[in-house]
Amino acid sequence: MKFVDQAIIRVAAGKGGNGSASFRREKYIPMGGPDGGDGGDGGSVYLVADTGLNTLVDFRHLRNYKAENGKGGAGRQMTGRGGEDIEIRVPVGTMVFDEETGDKLGDITEPEQRLLVAKGGHGGRGNIHFKSSTNRAPRQFTPGTEGEAFALRLELKLLADVGLLGYPNAGKSTLITAISAARPKVADYPFTTLYPNLGVVRQGVSRSFVVADIPGIIRGAAEGAGLGIQFLRHLERNRVLLHLVEMNPDGDAEAMVEQVRELEAELQEYRQELIERPRWLLLTKADLVLPEEAEAIAKAVVEGLAWEAPWFMISAAANQGLEPLTQGLMVALEGLWQEEREEKERIEQERIAAQKALEEETPHDRDPRLM
C-alpha cells in the first residue's frame, strides 16, 4: 500500500543587487562620465531529486530556505556578483504544490531532476545605461528586484519499506510508537489498529525508512476471515517483513512456534511470494519474562523454527533491543535499495542497447520500392 507523506516548507529566492550611480574619476579626468555597473542577480531555489532519500522527514526540522542576495554594482562598470543558488534534495516521486493557491508546480520523477521553485530577482541597472545626448551625467540607477517567495507543500507517496506482521496484540503499535514519531492507538485488547499506521524511523541525517503497522491478522485471513484479505494486501509491497510473536510468560515455546507456523500458512495461502520475502523474527514483550527465562525461550523458539533469518528479542515498552534492530534494518534496506537501482540501470542499459542494435539493423537508405 502507498501512503502519503507531507511537509510544508518556505522558500525565498535572493534579491537582485542594486545598480550603481558612479562617475569616472581619474587623474587628468576630473569630470569623467558615468561608469556605474549593474547589480548581480539573486540566487534561485531548486528542488533536486535524490535517490538516497525516501521520506520527507527531514523537512519536519528544517522548513525555511533562502538563496543568497545578489551584490550591488560598482564603479568602472563592475557588475555585482550574482547570489548563489541553493538546491534542496528531495526524494524521487515528490509532488510540489503552492500551499496558498493549491496549484501544482511540478512532479519530480527522475534522479537528479531539477525543478525551479523560486526565481532570483534581477539585478538593478547602473547609471551608465541612462547616459544620453541630453543627459551626460545621469544619476539614475534602478534597485534590484525582489526574489520570488512561496510556501510549498511537498507530497510523497510512500511505499512502506518495513511491514509489521503478527496476531492482534502482538505489540506492533507499541513498537512503531517506540521507534518512530507515529502515534497509533495502543491498548491491551485485540484489533486496536483498524487501519495501517505509518512511521518514519530516522537513523541520522538523510537516513530513514518507513514502517507500516499492519492491523493484526487472524486465523483464516487468507480465506477472507475478518478483514484478512485487506490486511494481507498491505504486506505485498513491503521490502522487509517483521514477524512479531509475543513472548509467552509461561515459557511455552511450542505455542510461540505454532503461532509463527500458522501465520506462515496464511501468508503462503494468500501469496507464495510473501513467504519468500525477507522476514525477520521479533520476540516481543521480553520485559514480562525474567532475563534468564527469556533467553531460554528465545533459543527454543529459534531452534524449533530452524530460523535462519535475523531475529531479535525486544521490549518496545521498556526500549530494549530497539537500537540494534533499527540499525540492522537501515543497513539491510540500503543494500536492497542499491540492488534495485542497479537492476533498473541494467534494464535501462539493455533497452538502450536493444534500441541501438535495431537502428543499426534497419538500413536508412534502402530503396522503398524493394520493401
Least confident of 12-16, 221-225, 280-284, 367-371: 221-225
Q: How confident is the model at residue 159 (pLDDT cuts 50, 70, 90)?
A: low
In this prediction, residue 363 carries a pLDDT of 59
Cα 232 from Cα 245, distance rounded (Å)? 17
Fold of 160-334: Rossmann fold (3.40.50)
Which one is the CATH code of 2-157: 2.70.210.12, 3.40.1390.10, 3.40.50.300, 1.10.3720.10?
Answer: 2.70.210.12
In contact, 117 and 96? CB cutoff 8 Å = yes
As beta bridge partners, residue 88 has 47
As beta bridge partners, residue 211 has 162, 199
Highest-pLDDT range among 75-89, 165-179, 336-350: 75-89
Instruction: Give the tens place of pLDDT for each residue, 227-259.
Output: 334 455 556 667 899 999 998 777 789 999 998
In this prediction, residue 91 carries a pLDDT of 86
In this prediction, residue 161 carries a pLDDT of 86
Cα 122 from Cα 311, distance rounded (Å)? 59
Q: Is 11 helix (H, G, I), strand (E, B) or coil?
A: strand
Instruction: Record the pTM.
Output: 0.57
Q: Is 142 helix (H, G, I), strand (E, B) or coil?
A: coil
Question: Does 189 score more than 50 pLDDT?
Answer: no
In contact, 56 and 97? CB cutoff 8 Å = no
Query: Which residue do the cell numbers 500551499 mark?
Result: 99
Domain range annotation of the chain: 2-157, 160-334
Instruction: Give the tens place of pLDDT for each residue, 92-146.
Output: 888 999 999 999 999 888 888 999 999 999 999 999 999 988 888 898 999 999 9
Nearest CA-CA partner of 316 in 162, 179, 165: 179
Query: Which residue do the cell numbers 536508412 mark?
Result: 364
Cα 189 from Cα 187, distance rounded (Å)? 6
Torsion of CA 115, 121, 126, 128, to 10 degrees: 50
